[in-house]
Amino acid sequence: MGSEGYLINQFACVSTNQRDDEWGGTFENRIRFSLEIIRAMRRVVGENFIIIYRLSMLDLKQEGSSWSEVVQHAKAIEEAGATIINTGIGWHEVRIPTIASVVPAAAFSWVTKKLKRCITIPLITSNRINTPELAEKCLRDGDADMVSMARPFLADSQFVNKAKNNQSILINKCIACNQGCLDRVFKQQRATCMVNPRAAYETEYPDNKAKRQKTIVIVGLGVAGMSCAYYAAKRGHLVIAYDEANLGGQFNLAAKIPGKEIYAETIRYFEAQLSLLAVDIRRNHKVVFEDLRDMYADAIIFATGVTPKKPNIPGIDHFSVMDYETAINHKAELKNRVAIIGAGGIGFDVAEMLIEADTENTVSRWYEKWGIDIQYKNRGGLLRDVVDHKPERTVYLLQRKDEKLGKNLARTTGWIRRLTLRKAGVNMLSGVSYEKIDDFGLHIVHQGNNETLAVDHVIVCAGQQSENALYEQLRAIGQPVEIIGGAKKAAELDAETAIREGMTLAYKL
């Protein structure tokens, strides 16, 4: 592992190797550590054992390796006895995203291609490659000899078999959320996958049929309901599922946020699987009490999700006020001065949507935004002068708590979201009290000072409330009801928990 800022990478990098002996100083001395490791391994394992060296091809840090040093190091690694070189991108300490969903697909395969013409041993490309088609494109375009994947196999252990059988549509794609894998590891929990909760839980939830087929009714087809319908049908149950609109729930909103477009793939996957399993899906059907009062079912499961919470602020019914669902679904109608009440995950989503330019979000624009020098003229592959393009909109992101905004965002992606808003000039204010909303704007008290934010819109992202009234009605008359997802607990709504609850309940039925 000679990349991502780990020990071997630190020896090679001038900014971290301050030694003045034979292991430091000149570049030849700094890479000696990596070469001695390879030579020692080769002596022990013999000529026929495969040694893969992960080389930091793009440090993405000041005083990182230059391109000529990367090439020199790769040639020395080949000569020392490595069989294959894998691509490492960025140091963990660097504030440039490399594996999150905001990173364009195969965004770093260009650097592997650049090195491929310099050495003779096979090269592997990596980072944000999550479909057979994308892997094939990398190989066809000569970016690399092989493609490295990790998280895609957590998302779908049958990835290769499905690709082999031309069933790409049935692949559960990794959406690079990091919530089930890396975020859990950092909390010392078992690594799994948000979109595939059976990952690393296969023995607790074996892929087998239930002892007796049951009739299961599911109300609501957000991610919790889709998950429950999928696993229940897979276990052999007869599943009837209702939704007042279409499949996806809150994920339909998430997929409209810049950098989260791939969330639509999770909806696509579940829809394809539910069709394959012959689940009776009844779309655009708002279930009422009379529909279920006398219905026979072994279980009626409510996954009816949440509705936006309406805070008690004078003027909350002013024409300038809207909830986050309305704002996301009608972005084109929003004007240029906006205040967002609530700085949780959804508040950040809305802010990111508002600052995104209406122009095409190209990969080259993404490189420019994060200061990545794809010409590799500078050390570490960084642009010397990064120009932040300020958005046309003036955005205020506000919260009542007097603490860092986004404090509870996911560990591996929260910093990206905070940095994105700072770079865009979003006004992020904490410790705010809301006085009133009127024709002059949003009146607040911030740090003891009265202020009026003269905005065109006030978007409310102040939490959600569970949609569970029908569940309570049916429970009262003794129907066999269960409840999962946001309908069960709206506070700190979490898609990973919702999908896992859907699976867990399906195994309990």
DSSP 91-111: -TTSSS-SSSTTSPTTTTHHH
Nearest CA-CA partner of 292 in 216, 213, 227: 216
- Ramachandran angles phi, psi of 254, nearest 5°: -55, -40
Residues 6+ apart with CB under 8 A from 193: 151, 154, 155, 174, 180, 181, 199
CB 466, CB 306: distance < 8 Å: yes
What does the block give as tokens for 302?
């409510």
Angle between helices 67-80 and 32-45 (to 10 degrees): 20
Active site annotation includes 6: yes
Please state the φ and ψ torsions of residue 260, each to the nearest 5 degrees: -120, 15
CA distances from 201 to 193, 227, 269, 472 (A): 10, 15, 20, 32
Q: Nearest Cα to 77, choosing from 42, 113, 101? A: 42
Q: Where are the beta strands (DSSP E) in 3-125?
A: 52-58, 84-89, 123-125
**257: Cα within 13 Å, side-chain hemisphere:** 20
Q: Strands 394-398 and 337-341, how do they pair?
A: parallel
DSSP 8-class letter at 382: B
Residue with tokens 């030694």: 19
> Running DSSP on this structure, what letter comes out for residue 440?
T
Instruction: Say which DSSP state 333 is in.
Output: G
- Per annotation, catalytic residue among 6, 201, 367, 507: 6
d(CA 194, CA 494): 10
Q: Is 419 buried (19+), middle (13-18) or exposed (0-12) by CB count in 10 A?
A: middle
Percent helix, strand and coil across the chain, each to the nearest 5: 35, 15, 50
Which residues participate in catalysis according to the annotation? 6
